[in-house]
Amino acid sequence: MTLADNHRWLLQLTLLAACAANDGCHKTHQPSLKGNLRMSQPQPPLAAVRPHRVTIHGDSWVDPYFWLRDKKDPQVIAHLEAENAYTHAMLDHTKGLQDALYQEMLGRIKEDDTTVPAPRGEYLYYSRTEAQKAYRINCRRKRNGPEEILLDANKLAEGQKYTVVGTFAVSPDHRFLAYSVDHAGSERYTLFIKDLETGKLLPEQIKDTYYSVAWASDNKTIYYNTINEASRPYRLYRHTLGSDPAQDELVYQEDNAHFNLSAQRTRSGAYLLMTLHSAVTTEVHAIDASVGNAKPQLIHPRQQGMEYYVEHHGDVFYIRTNDGATNFKLVKVATSAPQKANWVEVIAHRDDQMLADVDAFRSHLVLSVREQGLPKLIIKPLTGGEPHAIAFDEQAYDVYLTSNLEFDSATLRFSYTSLTTPESVFDYQMDHKTRVLRKVDPVLGYDKTVYRTERLMARAKDGTQIPISLVSHKDTPRDGSAPMLLNGYGSYGYSFDANFNANWISLLDRGFIVGIAHIRGGGEMGRAWKEAGKFAHKVNTFTDFIACAEHLIAEKYTSPSKLAIAGRSAGGLLIGAVLNMRPDLFGAAIAGVPFVDVLNTMLDDTIPLTVIEWEEWGNPNTRPAYDWIKAYSPYNNVKAQAYPHLLVTAGLNDPRVGFWEPAKWVAKLRTHKTDDHWLLLKTHMGAGHGGESGRYGKLRDRALEFAFLVDRLGR
């Protein structure tokens, strides 16, 4: 017996022991120890069946794997570890390929790199990375002065398996830094305050904070939000430096479980804006930043289905709202009398253009819009003159604002990227309409000229044209023989734009085509695009994706056996749904932290996000929503049929998609699928929704996923 055979035999014993701990695997699939002493491929672990009956609306069904949701149960952990061991064993022969892919991706990174410094007052703020260090180092310097390290996340990560910095906010006088850290992946952060003059931490530490921290103008008062047991941000506190956090003043508590609470300081520095938001409704309160104990000032009370977002400028608030405007419009109102009756329209609603965001500067407004599925930036002078758009040439791209820290500036910083253009940082002089390229993200060894991008349209079942963005090597044939990775999301109105991904080069150079299906449910084509892919219309998201796959096959970009698909979170729901509907279209799939147990999750209001997300998916406690969710929920619709090769990932501490959703889905697929294709589950046992926290760990994850694709698609 070789060393490799011995390793596999020992692994098989581990799997058998875990299977026994799970109260007995199904005997029809239980591997024979005698037969496996020389087997090179272990048998998969099978979860025990423990029937749990669900009855609602007169409908009754059995959930055989409901028990897998309890991570305090040692048998649950044993099953997840057995799945990890099985995945490790099945991918063992790809270790060389994984290492090669990792080295390729790492080799494209300039490991010691620095962001473009962003001016704020007398300082320039930036971050940098160092070779062999997994995390960023946040720094600043006075103009032409020496560097000052503000926060080195590598030091925070020492002795930790997982580290993420949440908030990072420097006080107006540049003296103090408020930052938060999560060491579990649960997105429950501990807030720290550092004196940047002494380099010492203040004694107070505040637990269970979320993503909002904002300074008042006195440089000694900070506002922060906290989360409840369901991980909903619901309270805003005010803290005075040096005081006991237990004595912090509760400024506001949001008791409606449909709403989250967040707060941020305006770019002008004059206000803190507390926003209460459900999936379809917002309510904003302004807090005077110059008064240490200021009370929130309501701008407009919540009105079901009405969203509005506020920017401050001088003596007015600019408000972007969908009130009578599906794609949003812009109004303004005096800060002294912000009631809706006083709102004055500044930019009218347009059916052909989505007003996605508004940023205020001293002499300009910057409008982020979406038109014909692409993002655009429009500059609107506030001192006279006509608005103008910043022009971009490529047929598929993304553009967004970055690091604009100063209100009194006529220079706009934005990033531009496309499927073939690495992120490029520009400074744009808004008065003179000139731009300066400040940096292109270095991608070592990359030659843009050997790759090409395309933008196609696929016809959906109802005739709607669905955009597809593609990138490939120029030598890749168009005869149906090329492997392809088609990505999708299609939820919450989020747009999956054509961003550069240096890791994809490893696939492109192996003959893959990589695509993005801009399906309904997302926001690429405006707010109506989102509405056409939610509630009872959610099935459009899945049939749109299928239509894109069919179009790509018909046009001979690829073939079913060569087509892989991928999606994360709600994109994982997409993958699960289309695999149930049309498994014959695909050769392989990757579902990252997939939201696949939709019906069970939406029926359980104790799970984080459930109540808020009723306005995205529907509340199954009502019969119509129950019926349409049950009709597509991937876990509920697994059936006896052949499925493609499938790699599924999960995070044990994930607060967004419970680890049990992918675990239950895989368990059910194992007992139903009629094929011998791979079905692998990898659970990060010390992380959350985003997987590994360090940049090298993330590359290892991508290398494993790409090795799975290359191996299974035979290229």
The predicted-structure confidence for 103-133, as pLDDT tens digits, reads as follows 999 999 999 999 999 999 999 999 999 999 9
From the list 174, 258, 349, 689, the catalytic residue is 689
Q: Are strands 374-381 and 388-389 parallel, antiparallel or unpaired?
A: antiparallel
Q: Are strands 388-389 and 397-401 parallel, antiparallel or unpaired?
A: unpaired
Q: For 131-175, how does the pLDDT look when each residue is reduced to its tens digit (9 = 90+)? A: 999 999 999 999 989 999 999 999 999 999 999 999 999 999 999
Question: Which stretches does DSSP call E strand in 57-130?
Answer: 59-63, 118-120, 123-128
Domain 95-106+446-713 in CATH 3.40.50.1820? The answer is: yes
Q: Assess contact for 330 and 318: CB atoms under 8 A.
A: yes
Q: What is the mean pLDDT of residues 206-216?
A: 98
pLDDT at 306 over 90: yes
**Strand, helix or coil for residue 703:** helix
- Return the CA Rg of the chain: 26
Q: Assess contact for 329 and 348: CB atoms under 8 A.
A: yes
pLDDT at 520 over 80: yes
pLDDT at 214 over 50: yes
Active site residue 174: no
Q: What is the mean pLDDT of residues 649-668?
A: 98
**Strand, helix or coil for residue 106:** helix
Q: What is the mean pLDDT of residues 240-258?
A: 97
Q: For 632-656, how does the pLDDT look when each residue is reduced to its tens digit (9 = 90+)? A: 999 999 999 999 999 999 999 999 9
Q: For 532-549, how does the pLDDT look when each residue is reduced to its tens digit (9 = 90+)? A: 999 999 999 999 999 999
From the list 278, 368, 409, 569, the catalytic residue is 569
* Residue 714 confidence class, pLDDT cut points 50, 70, 90: confident
Q: Which residue has the tokens 């994982």?
A: 572
Q: Assess contact for 594 and 662: CB atoms under 8 A.
A: yes
Q: How far apart are CA 288 and CA 320, in angstroms?
A: 21
pLDDT at 593 over 80: yes
Q: What's the longest Cα–Cα distance across the chain?
A: 85
Task: Give the rounded percent of residues in the chain with a pLDDT score beyond 70.
Answer: 94
Please list, in sequence order, all residues whose beta carbon lies within 8 angstroms of the beta carbon of residue 82, skipping any fewer than 6 positions away.
14, 15, 18, 19, 22, 45
* Residue 35 confidence class, pLDDT cut points 50, 70, 90: very low
End-to-end alpha-carbon separation of the chain, Å?
Answer: 31
Q: How far apart are CA 355 and CA 345, in angstroms?
A: 14
Q: Assess contact for 115 and 127: CB atoms under 8 A.
A: yes
Q: Are strands 451-459 and 271-277 parallel, antiparallel or unpaired?
A: unpaired
Q: How far apart are CA 502 and CA 109, in angstroms?
A: 9
pLDDT, mean over the chain: 94
Q: What is the mean pLDDT of residues 444-450?
A: 98
Task: Give the rounded percent of residues in the chain with a pLDDT score beyond 90.
Answer: 92
Query: Which tokens sit at 639?
Result: 């059936």
Q: What is the DSSP letter of 289?
A: T
Q: For 53-103, how does the pLDDT look when each residue is reduced to its tens digit (9 = 90+)? A: 999 999 999 999 999 999 999 999 999 999 999 999 999 999 999 999 999
Q: How far apart are CA 383 and CA 701, in angstroms?
A: 51
pLDDT of residue 608: 87
* Residue 41 confidence class, pLDDT cut points 50, 70, 90: confident
pLDDT of residue 395: 87
Q: What is the mean pLDDT of residues 344-371?
A: 98
pLDDT of residue 219: 97
Q: For 560-574, how does the pLDDT look when each residue is reduced to its tens digit (9 = 90+)? A: 999 999 999 999 999
Active site residue 569: yes
pLDDT at 20 over 80: no
Q: What is the DSSP letter of 247?
A: G
Q: Which of 3-7, 345-349, 350-354, 659-663 has the lowest mean pLDDT?
A: 3-7
From the list 248, 544, 597, 654, the catalytic residue is 654
Active site residue 654: yes
pLDDT at 12 over 50: no
Q: How many residues are recorded in the chain?
A: 715
Q: For 602-630, how does the pLDDT look when each residue is reduced to its tens digit (9 = 90+)? A: 999 999 889 999 999 999 999 999 999 99
The pTM for the full model equals 0.93
pLDDT of residue 17: 32
Q: Assess contact for 329 and 345: CB atoms under 8 A.
A: yes
* Residue 40 confidence class, pLDDT cut points 50, 70, 90: low
